[in-house]
Structure 1
Amino acid sequence: MAEESSRSKDFREQGFLHLKGFVSKQMCEKMKARMKELVDVWDPVAEKPAPFTTDSKTQVEAQGKSDYFLDSADRIHFFIEKEAADEDGKLKDMKKKFSALNKVGHGLHVKDPTFREYSHSDKVLELVHELGWKDPVLPQSMYIFKQPVTGGEVTSHQDSSFLYTTPRPTCLGLWLALDAATTENGCLWARPGSHRESVRRVFVRNPEHFETGNSDATQLIFETLAGKDPAWEWEGKMPEGCDEFGKGLKDKGFIPVECEAGDLVVIHGQVDHLSLANTSNKPRETFQLHLVEGPSEGITWSPRNWLQYPAGKPFPSLLPRGKRKAEEMEASLQEA
């Protein structure tokens, strides 16, 4: 049996890793330049972007009534800050479309060659394998802006709530800093060891809407899975007593994860994490990947997850095509 690497051991104990200089500054600038190109040709009038927020109530109301959100799984869709939208959800000021953006997702790793280059790099695959994922597939990617001055907070959550697999959760987040991320401009805060806690709730397609046919019912809902962890006190919101500078977070067990551009934070799907608002004048852009184990490991993507690819279209595999084919053939022979 191979000796466990120090990175794997740290990840197993803490539930997250901070890997300095995972990619070059040049690659960060390449991604930022490519996103600017995508935003330049984006037409907010034609696409009717949806506001995005992580506040639980608003999340259900905003994302839960938008086909634009549900249809973004394997496409490049643009989501604006809640304050940038008018009463009809449209962008208030077309001249400020870049600064109005909250994120772009969720299929950059599918549709765009620059983001696909990084997402399917040997470096990413080697890291994921080192941490124990054997058949990694990529359901989702996101480019998060966290705009200067106006970039909103991201409330306490577990990634597995939004990307749920059975019979066990297998979500893994790869959070790449494209700018320096500090306590001043909204870096990540994570709670070490919280990956040992259960998935508290899942964000799913509402059966009343999709199965019963009630068009008035919201499309998406949160369903409770577990309710005994102390973190339920602040699930989907900010811990009580927390201010815009992070006061109170350390009392709850959170620590800041400050990064330089090119650093990667690897996040177990059950780790409790959040980020504060960016009230500074500094940018804090990131590119994030979320992967899960694939079907050859006996893992099933929940059919109720909000994110679903079109019928018959599999999630992109991180494995090279030849290796994946060989493993599929070996699995079929073993079954025979």
Structure 2
Amino acid sequence: MHSTLLDELNQNGFVVIEDFLTPSEIDELYLAGRALCLDAPQENRKVFSTVNQKDAHSKETYFLDSGDKIRFFFEEGAFGENGELLVDPMMALNKVGHYLHVQHPIFNKLTFSNRVKEICWQLNFKKPAVCQSMYIYKNPGIGGEVISHQDSWFLHTEPNSVIGFWFALEDCTIQNGCLEVIKGSHKSGIHRLYKRNPDKEANELLIYDRPAPIYPQSSYTPLLVGKGTCIIIHGNVVHKSEQNRSQKSRHAYTFHVIETENNVKYSKDNWLQPTKDKPFPLLFERKN
């Protein structure tokens, strides 16, 4: 019996689709990512880290308000003690997010392409919307670790519906911090939530509702994929990536899709909230 995309996602929590992008698309996306480096701010630069949770983005509105803007987040290791840049500006960014899929023509073209719509159709989405997008640099040497997590910690719907699309724009190896997943972990529910702090007086704008779970390293499968590969990631599958210890970068483009049909509720506690005039853009609406 022919296994469908949905069967595979339900079984493993992820699907690897090789050669999803053509060589010219890879080049176009990669060059667009490089060009974004030149647009990065020269002062008041914000650091992004998943390891150091006392960092800027739990306290700052720059992150919280980035859902409908293109904003720039630097690597922790990019700066000296006095805020001076220690690395080439082309190597300093951790990521750019979270509205590339709308505001940037090259990322918009891929995100709303027929191939992406077809995958969401096969995954039985009724009214899928793209809620956020990111260009991830994973630069040589300073490309930071992304701690073990489930995407639904950050983008929670009831019932869960979040799916990640992750595109490798360079070959992914153990050395340069490939994605690593725990196969089947999406069947174990959601382990914690990252949410807006109900305490309006508190310093932290965003908080976790539970401590971080511990996942044994032996549970992970590294996804050693070539550039052009698309990885579909179930919202509840546990995944991570180690620091880039190589001399090669590991650029990727990623975005997240949620179901917006009436019986699916997007949590008001999520860090990312659509604005009245900018609802999450739909990929399609399935007519009965």
TM-score between both structures, scaled by the size of structure 1 = 0.81
Corresponding residue SS for 1:175: strand
**Offset at residue 152 of structure 1 (A):** 1.3
Aligned position for 1:232: 213
Aligned to 1:59: 53
Q: 2:232 aligns with which of 263, 266, 272?
A: 266
Q: Percent identity?
A: 36
Query: Is the counterpart of residue 217 in structure 1 residue 213 in structure 2?
Result: no
Q: Which runs of 5+ in 2 are unaligned?
A: none
Q: Counterparts of 1:43 and 1:158 in 2: how far apart (Å)?
A: 30
Q: Distance in 2 between matches of 1:278 and 1:87?
A: 22
Greater radius of gyration (CA): 1
Q: CA deviation at 1:86?
A: 5.2
Cα deviation, residue 123, structure 1: 0.0
Cα deviation digits, residues 201-246 of structure 1 (max 9, x gap): 111111112xxxx1x521110113xx9xxx9224xxxx4xxxxxxx
Q: 2:174 aligns with which of 174, 183, 196?
A: 183
Deviations 1:240-279 (A, max 9, x none): xxxxxxxxx2x2x211111111001110000011111111
Q: How much has 1:87 moved relative to structure 2?
A: 5.7
**Structure 1 CA distance, aligned partners of 2:41 and 2:136?**
19
- State whether structure 2 residue 150 is matched by structure 1 residue 158: yes
Match of 1:172 among 163, 166, 169: 163
Listed one character per residue, the Cα deviations across residues 286-312 of structure 1 (whole Å, up to 9, x for unaligned) are 000111101x24112111110112234
Closer, same or farther: CA 317–94 of 1 in aligned 2, 3 Å: farther
Q: Higher helix proportion, which one?
A: 1
Deviation at 1:61, TM superposition (A): 3.6
Task: Name structure 1 gaps, 5 residues minimum.
Answer: 240-248, 331-336
- Structure 2 contact 185–236 (Cα < 8 Å) conserved: yes
1:78 is aligned to: 72
Matching residue's letter, 1:315: F
Superposed displacement of residue 4, structure 1: 7.1
Asked if structure 1 preserves the Cα contact closer than 8 Å seen for 2:137 and 2:251, the reply is yes
SS where residue 232 of structure 1 aligns? coil
Q: Could you say what the CA RMSD is over the residues aligned between the two structures, in angstroms? A: 2.0
1: distance between equivalents of 2:227 and 2:273? 31
Alignment partner, residue 191 of structure 2 = 200
Name the TM-score, length of structure 2 as normaliser.
0.93
Counterpart-to-counterpart distance in 1, 2:122 and 2:154: 24
What's 1:292 paired with?
Answer: 258
- The 3-state SS of whatever aligns with 1:266 is strand
**1:191 Cα deviation after fit:** 0.7
Q: Provide the rounded CA distance (Å) in 1 between the counterparts of 2:40 and 2:8.
A: 41
Separation (CA, whole Å) in 1 of partners of 2:55 and 2:86: 24
Indicate the SS of the match to 2:38.
Answer: helix
DSSP-derived class of the 1:292 partner: strand
What amino acid maps onto 1:52 in structure 2?
F
Q: What is the aligned partner in structure 1 of residue 98 from structure 2?
A: 106
How many angstroms apart in 1 are the aligned matches of 2:267 and 2:29? Answer: 31
Where do 1:28-39 residues align within 5 Å? 28-39=26-37
Hey, what does 1:50 align to over in structure 2? 46
Given candidates 88, 105, 124, the residue that maps to 2:116 is 124
Q: Partners of 1:291 and 1:59 in 2: how far apart?
A: 25
- CA offsets per residue over residues 89-126 of structure 1, 9 Å max, x none? x5x22872221110000000011010000000000010
Aligned partner of 1:334 in structure 2 is none
Q: Deviations over 1:116-138 (max 9, x none)?
A: 00000000010111122221101
The answer on whether the counterparts of 1:175 and 1:265 sit within 8 Å (CA) in structure 2 is yes
Matched with 1:137 is 129
The alignment covers a number of residue pairs equal to 288
Aligned partners of 2:81, 2:67: CA distance in 1, in Å? Answer: 26
**Cα separation, partners in 2 of 1:188 and 1:17, compared to 1, 3 Å:** same
Change (3 A) 1:282 1:139: same
Partner of 1:9: 7
**1:307 aligned onto 2:272:** yes
Deviation of 1:198 after TM superposition, in Å, equals 1.1
Cα pair 2:68 2:278 within 8 Å, conserved: no
Maintained 8 Å contact 1:75/1:110: no
Corresponding residue SS for 1:63: helix
Distance in 2 (CA, whole Å) between partners of 1:96 and 1:282 is 14
Inter-partner Cα distance in structure 2 for 1:37 and 1:157: 29
Contact 1:175/1:266 (CA < 8 Å) preserved in 2?
Answer: yes
